[in-house]
Structure 1
Amino acid sequence: MKELFEKLNDEKINFEEFEESTLTDIEKKSIKKRIKKKLHKRRSMPVKTLSAVASLTLMAIIAVNSNFALANIPIVGEKLEAFVYSQADTLTDFKTIIGDSVKDNGVKVTLNEVILDEGQLLISSTFYTKLENNDLAYNWFSDIDIYIDGKKVELGGGGGPQEITESYIHYFWTADIGHMDMHKEKTMRIVFNDLKRSDSEKVMKGKWSFKFKASGENLIANSKKIPINHSFTLENGQNIEVEELILTPVSSKLVYKMSNIVDDVYFKIENEHGEAIQETIGHHFRFENYNRFEALEGGKIKIIPFISKFDNSQEYMLTNEIIELDLDEKKLK
């Protein structure tokens, strides 16, 4: 995800900000090592973090569907297409446009638009507030709670500020929502809790809540699953099973499982010209894993496994386990 982090060159990181979860000690050390490796100092593209805990005080209720008439509302900053490396306005048919605002403690938050993708919810929002010059040297984060059909989603996510100015912060977030029936309309509630400077020295208190309806039916109708079913075992006895590649208009999700876990194994994708396909987010170093990339439309690709040793920061390509796939023929070579 090199390009995602290039603009973070001035970031000041405090690893105590990451909230405790039920990860094992090995997982915690691995995640911290990968964060140290990828993040340096601040600029404004997404950062991997974990979603936090929240409560609810304010609520704005909006009942809208994808392709609602508010599609022409001007959005401050780039649209969600930029977050997933798609061409401008190519995902309009799959969005739910919100455009509603809630104000608390002098800070106004606008929920711009969302996309319900396979296994993830993409969120674009804008915080309107006055920032001093020294505030611009830091990233800013909000703890986000998501409820789908009344049930809280607690699978984490990633993202962060896409643009920071003296008057607003444009904020992208993707939440891992797991498996669900995408054909049925969902009642969703998104709650933003506080706005925090990345050094934890400044917090703007507030709760901004939005309720709306969204459906992934159109997206699923334009998606496909390609079974891969390729397994291999490392010398240390670790087993990896690559199950499938899920292609949607928004993203490409490679799904795999691991057992007897010792080292971190993840995947990269190259097209037939040897060009890397941009990764957007990943969930790995556990039993059920995935790497998510920008949307793929066709052609031949290579799925390349890499191993990251627990005792160092080096990654190694597993050349004997490279998978070649023709997306047009849907056949594994």
Structure 2
Amino acid sequence: MGNNIYDMLNDNSIDLEGLDRDGFNLVEKKEIEARFNKSINKNEKKSMKKGIMAASIVLAIAVGTVGSGFGTSVTAAIKLVTTDIGLFLGINKDLGRYKTVVDQSKSNEAISVQLNEVILNGDELVVSTTFKNEKGDLKIESINAVGEVFINGVELSESSSGVGKLAEDSTFQQVMTYSLKDNELKGDLAIKIVYPSVLLNGEVTNIKPYVFEFNTNGDKLAADTIKLSINHSFTLENGSIVTLKDYVSNKVSTKLFLDIDNVNKSEVVYDIQLRGHDNCGNKVVFKPRIIGEDQGILELSTALGEEISDEATEITLTPYAAAFPEGNGIFNSDLKQVEKKVAFPGKNQKLANGYRQVGKEFTIKIK
């Protein structure tokens, strides 16, 4: 994927209003969804149309680096609640052989941060983190935190997205996926993740960065990853031709990489989804991970328990798309409502959130 996909990433925030504040259970772990809020400066609105549009990402956060002249922080190791990456994401597969348990924590008088475990998935690093509010009398309205990922001494993180959950005991658990500049990462790697700032209700809580260092290796997952060429195209309503290039799948994620040929030079940006089933009868939904001006990634959704059967040999999909509103680049989609009320609409049927069928049903042979 080209670097242009990530160039336009700007201010994002976690919206806790959409999160259930109860503890985790087997149902909730498949329904962890929150609103995607994107703040756009006036001078960035035009360029944003051509930049990243990831409306169906559950959470996406990016916080500017805080200066280093904040003095010395109060640090302490504190055991927080650990979070299993697979359970949190609703992945019903054993990921034990692929993940590295870090189990490190840093603390100050406001926020304790625990880095639980990580998985290196090609050019992505999946990170489970727990934040604990140490100010018991302060109600959590928002938490903003994003790490900077260094591998063998070089910063490689470009963008991040993820899911989060606020529990009653003032802990916020999240799993973030960091897109990396290098897709040829092999062998034992020295990782450093730095949280320059952690914002609680919009206020910086740390006087110096939280820093975690550990080693990991992604070779086992890389060896168990399937990559297939697809070369299937469909046309959006603005005339842009979307070509699905590659299908890449393993136990951690299943993704479709696509190219977009904007033949009419349209400034309209679309949220693209693929909906269908595998040949074993399981529902399959691919939602945007990143949609850029000429490239994108669609990822298999696991939030509501969708997954492809291990026995499946093919998946059948139908493309849908919805244009982001003109002028502000913000698209609020109620994905649950679409899936429950109108799962597979006709081509001329417009959904409440703007989705229309934009191509014919097609089949991908995955084995």
The residue number in structure 1 matching 2:4 is: none
With the length of structure 1 as denominator, give the TM-score of the two structures. Answer: 0.73
The residue number in structure 2 matching 1:84 is: 89
SS in 1 for 2:105: strand
Output the amino acid matched with 1:85.
G
Q: Please state if 1:255 is matched with 2:294.
A: no
Separation in 2 of the partners of 1:9 and 1:83?
Answer: 14
The residue number in structure 2 matching 1:277 is: 284
Q: 1:275 to 1:106 in 2, by over 3 A?
A: same
Q: 1:304 to 1:133 in 2, by over 3 A?
A: farther
Deviation at 1:311, TM superposition (A): 4.3
Deviation at 1:86, TM superposition (A): 1.2
SS in 2 for 1:24: helix
Contact 2:273 2:286 in 1 (8 A): no
Deviation at 1:9, TM superposition (A): 6.9
Structure 2 residue corresponding to 1:189, chosen from 192, 203, 207? 192
Higher helix share: 1
The residue number in structure 2 matching 1:71 is: none
Contact 2:151 2:190 in 1 (8 A): yes
Separation in 1 of the partners of 2:181 and 2:287?
Answer: 17
> How many residues in Structure 1 have an aligned counterpart in Structure 2?
294
Q: Deviations over 1:119-162 (max 9, x none)?
A: 321111122332446524x2312132111222223421112532
The residue number in structure 2 matching 1:317 is: 357
Q: 1:165 to 1:235 in 2, by over 3 A?
A: closer
Separation in 2 of the partners of 1:148 and 1:223?
Answer: 22
Separation in 1 of the partners of 2:184 and 2:116?
Answer: 24
Q: 1:142 to 1:50 in 2, by over 3 A?
A: closer
Separation in 1 of the partners of 2:118 and 2:287?
Answer: 16
Structure 1 residue corresponding to 2:179, chosen from 176, 179, 190? 176
Where in structure 2 are the equivalents of 1:123-162 lying within 5 Å? 123-132=127-136, 135-136=139-140, 138-162=141-165
Higher strand share: 1
Q: 1:211 to 1:8 in 2, by over 3 A?
A: same
Structure 2 residue corresponding to 1:114, chosen from 118, 127, 143? 118
Where in structure 2 are the equivalents of 1:175-254 lying within 5 Å? 175-198=178-201, 200=202, 202-206=203-207, 207-234=209-236, 236-254=238-256
SS in 1 for 2:62: coil
Separation in 1 of the partners of 2:299 and 2:35?
Answer: 27
The residue number in structure 1 matching 2:272 is: 266
Higher RCO (C-alpha 8 Å, min separation 6):
2
User: Which range moved further: 250-259 or 172-181?
Assistant: 172-181
Separation in 2 of the partners of 1:7 and 1:292?
Answer: 22
Contact 1:75 1:112 in 2 (8 A): no
Q: Please state if 1:96 is matched with 2:136.
A: no
Deviation at 1:269, TM superposition (A): 4.1
SS in 1 for 2:205: strand
The residue number in structure 2 matching 1:53 is: 65
The residue number in structure 2 matching 1:24 is: 47
The alignment-based identity, stated in percent, is: 18
Deviation at 1:232, TM superposition (A): 3.7
Contact 2:152 2:189 in 1 (8 A): yes
Contact 1:184 1:217 in 2 (8 A): yes
Output the amino acid matched with 1:289.
G
Output the amino acid matched with 1:115.
I
Separation in 1 of the partners of 2:287 and 2:17?
Answer: 13
Q: Deviations over 1:237-268 (max 9, x none)?
A: 31222101101110001100112154415232
Q: Please state if 1:303 is matched with 2:317.
A: yes
User: Which range moved further: 187-196 or 276-285?
Assistant: 276-285
Contact 2:36 2:60 in 1 (8 A): no
Deviation at 1:77, TM superposition (A): 4.8
Separation in 1 of the partners of 2:212 and 2:72?
Answer: 8
Q: 1:55 to 1:121 in 2, by over 3 A?
A: farther
CA RMSD of aligned residues (A): 3.7
Q: 1:152 to 1:140 in 2, by over 3 A?
A: same
